[in-house]
Amino acid sequence: MSESAKPREYPFPSAPEENEYRIFPDDMENDGLIFFHGTAEKNLDSIVNNGFRISDNLPSVSFARNSSLSLRYACEVRDDSSPCGVVMAVRYDYLNERHIFQEGFGLHVYDLSVQPQIVGYCVVPENYVFR
């Protein structure tokens, strides 16, 4: 994958707790069509190149309304093979689809034949501890 094909990288804030652990700019955090997904950094290129996929052991992919929930998840899934996490920001054009279920925390998406647009990502450093 060429660097120009990768979505915009946002720097990890020096003190995320000062903004309620929201790690993206307020205009993205407050956009009703932008959602966030936390994962291990090793999954970033695959998702950018091939899209989100539903795993064999889960029926859907989840996206949070704010990045703080995804930040926590990105920290929890880090391991020796991927010491950094990543939070991805995605945009959905429409939420009123049969395969998208809105919940209080965000979305469960059960059919990914139409992928959300990845509008950015933020790498969570391996030494960052979510509190």
Expressed as residue numbers, the domain containing 58 is 19-124
pLDDT in tens, 71-110: 999 999 999 999 999 999 999 998 999 999 999 999 999 9
**Residue 39 one-letter amino acid:** T
Tokens representing 94 are 């429409």
User: Would you say residue 109 lies in a domain?
Assistant: yes
Q: Model's pTM, two decimal places?
A: 0.92
Phi, psi for 70 (deg, rounded to 5): -70, -30
**Residue 65 one-letter amino acid:** R
Angle at 114 between CA 11 and CA 85, to 5 degrees: 25
> Would you state the pLDDT for residue 1?
44
Identify the CATH number of the domain in which residue 41 sits.
3.90.228.10
Number of structural domains in the chain: 1
pLDDT in tens, 114-126: 899 999 999 999 9
In the DSSP assignment, the letter for residue 74 is H
- Phi/psi zone of residue 20: left (φ > 0), alpha (ψ -120 to 50 degrees), beta? left
User: Would you say residue 2 lies in a domain?
Assistant: no
